[in-house]
Amino acid sequence: MKIHSKLPNVGTSIFSLMSALANKHQAINLSQGFPNFDCPQPLKQLVNKHMQEGKNQYVPMAGVPLLREKLASKIESMYGLKVNPDSEITITAGATQALFTTIATFIKQGDEVLLIEPAYDSYRPSIQVVGGIPVIYELKAPDYKIDWNELQSLISERTRMIIINTPHNPIGKTLKTTDLEALQTITSNSDILVLSDEVYEHLIYDQALHQSVLRYPKLYERSLAVYSFGKTFHNTGWKVGYCVAPEYLMKEFRKVHQFNVFSVNSFVQYGIADFLDDSSVYLNLPDFYQQKRDFFEAIMQNTPFIPSPSEGTYFQLFDYSPISDENDIAFTKMLTTEHGVAAIPVSAFYSSGRQDKMIRLCFAKTEDTLQAAGERLMGLK
């Protein structure tokens, strides 16, 4: 039987490959982006409570009303924006589903989507599978700073969407006020939408404020912002997130959402709604992860790697050029098989495979794991 693949060049992801290699060689896996510690026990108890009480059937397509109300209050408290929980928030089966649904809703055959690379690996195939055309703007080491004039030059009459990610995976940088203002200016008086991936909104360091599109009313008018409870509550396997957008955009988003997911698991939503009453859990996350960042970076100072400052996320980039001239894929394989630490080559996040001699390490691990990984890397010269 003949089939037409919509993604003919997509194979096994670098994340799966590196994790398999780590397992084979019993390496410490700092490649995949999830914590090796559990989510809060009170949250698990609340979820179990609602499951035992029978909250096991379909909930409304847009999500449990109480959860959406709690999120609306959180958004107003953090970003000063009043959103309607009934018409501007939808609970999704993880952030990746929200990203895909947004792209599937608004991108048609031949539409151009401006991607800022390195980029999270789901963006490009999601665009391609619906017939869109990715237009690439490359960030360059070591500062990975956006030149908004240069980016604007890539906009054409077919540009339908710009995707931003802050704090940024994999580079750990954050967009600043000047960046959001520049984006607001170049999209004004246009039909360009902004898809803002903000799943690491609470993992931002050094007393900085997260610059969400929700802080900029004119920008919010054309934006869909995506969030993840998995990143906030250390439970990536639960796959629950949400999307926030103006009513006229959310109305279209829900038309697609209802047919590819309809609704998200019920008892988890009820449990999260109750757990959100304690805002200290997410407000304390910057300190929690900054301690891990600083602990790991201090250990890595005893290695030949050159750190790139992590302003947010639970990732940090390291320049390995003092160690090797190999390309980053070969280097990370060597690191895994010979030194027992698995990393991700940053070239995997570029369509062009751009080589900057950088690897990504995840510090969402216990201190003993980070200590052990650092000690193994001290043997490199």
> Is 55 a domain residue?
yes
pLDDT above 80 for 372: yes
Summarize the confidence of residues 327-353 as an average pLDDT. Answer: 96
**93 plus 227 within the same structural domain:** yes
Instruction: Give the pLDDT score at 2.
Output: 86
Q: What is the mean pLDDT of the chain?
A: 96
**239 plus 328 within the same structural domain:** no
Q: Indicate the residue among 278, 296, 320 that finishes a domain.
A: 278
> Is 8 a domain residue?
no
Q: Give 164-204 pLDDT, tens digit per residue.
A: 999 999 999 999 999 999 999 999 999 999 999 999 999 99
Are the C-beta atoms of 381 and 338 separated by less than 8 Å?
no
- 344 - beta bridge partners? 360
> Is 5 a domain residue?
no
Kindly give, in sequence order, each residue whose CB lies less than 8 Å from that of residue 238, ignoring residues fewer than 6 positions away: 39, 229, 230, 268
Number of domains in the chain: 2
- pLDDT bucket at 160, cuts 50 / 70 / 90: very high
**What percentage of the chain reaches a pLDDT higher than 90?**
94
- pLDDT bucket at 38, cuts 50 / 70 / 90: very high
Instruction: Give the pLDDT score at 9.
Output: 84
pLDDT above 90 for 295: yes
**128 plus 263 within the same structural domain:** yes
Summarize the confidence of residues 101-130 as an average pLDDT. Answer: 97
Instruction: Give the pLDDT score at 15.
Output: 86
How many Å is the Cα radius of gyration of the chain?
21
Q: How, if at all, do strands 241-244 and 223-228 pair?
A: antiparallel
**324 plus 178 within the same structural domain:** no
Token pair for residue 249? 């955009």
CA–CA distances in Å: residue 285 to residues 41, 226, 312, 362, 365: 16, 18, 11, 16, 14
- 244 - beta bridge partners? 89, 225
Question: What sections of 301-366 are H helices per DSSP?
Answer: 328-339
Identify whether 170 is preceded by a cis peptide bond (ω within 30 of 0). yes
Determine the structural domain holding residue 288 and report its residue range: 14-39+283-377
CB atoms within 10 A of CB 192: 18
pLDDT above 90 for 13: no
pLDDT above 90 for 32: no
Q: How far is the C-alpha of 332 from the C-alpha of 341, rounded, in Å?
A: 8
Are the C-beta atoms of 110 and 116 separated by less than 8 Å?
no
pLDDT above 80 for 381: no
Element (H, E) at 312: none
Q: Give 204-262 pLDDT, tens digit per residue.
A: 999 999 999 999 999 999 999 999 999 999 999 999 999 999 999 999 999 999 999 99
> Is 261 a domain residue?
yes
φ, ψ for residue 312 (rounded to 5)? Answer: -170, 175
**34 plus 45 within the same structural domain:** no
Are the C-beta atoms of 62 and 90 separated by less than 8 Å?
yes
Instruction: Give the pLDDT score at 12.
Output: 77
Strand (E) positions, the chain?
28-29, 89-92, 112-117, 133-138, 159-165, 193-197, 223-228, 241-244, 306-308, 315-319, 341-342, 344-345, 358-362
- pLDDT bucket at 379, cuts 50 / 70 / 90: confident
> Is 7 a domain residue?
no
> Is 4 a domain residue?
no
Q: How, if at all, do strands 112-117 and 358-362 pair?
A: unpaired
Name the one residue in this structure whose structure tokens are 């290699």: 21
pLDDT above 90 for 149: yes
Question: What sections of 39-156 are H helices per DSSP?
Answer: 41-52, 65-79, 95-106, 123-129, 148-152
**248 plus 290 within the same structural domain:** no
pLDDT above 90 for 10: no
Are the C-beta atoms of 76 and 82 separated by less than 8 Å?
yes
Q: In this structure, is the dihedral angle defined by the CA atoms of residues 297, 300, 301 and 302, taken in order, positive or negative?
A: positive
- pLDDT bucket at 358, cuts 50 / 70 / 90: very high
Measure CA 47 to chain center: 24
**62 plus 82 within the same structural domain:** yes
- 112 - beta bridge partners? 133, 159
Q: Indicate the residue among 278, 295, 325 that finishes a domain.
A: 278
Q: Indicate the residue among 239, 257, 278 that finishes a domain.
A: 278
**270 plus 310 within the same structural domain:** no
**259 plus 194 within the same structural domain:** yes
Kindly give, in sequence order, each residue whose CB lies less than 8 Å from that of residue 55, ignoring residues fewer than 6 positions away: 266, 267, 270
**35 plus 59 within the same structural domain:** no
CA–CA distances in Å: residue 45 to residues 52, 93, 240: 10, 21, 17
Q: How far is the C-alpha of 169 from the C-alpha of 290, rounded, in Å?
A: 16
**265 plus 304 within the same structural domain:** no
Summarize the confidence of residues 148-154 as an average pLDDT. Answer: 98
> Is 136 a domain residue?
yes
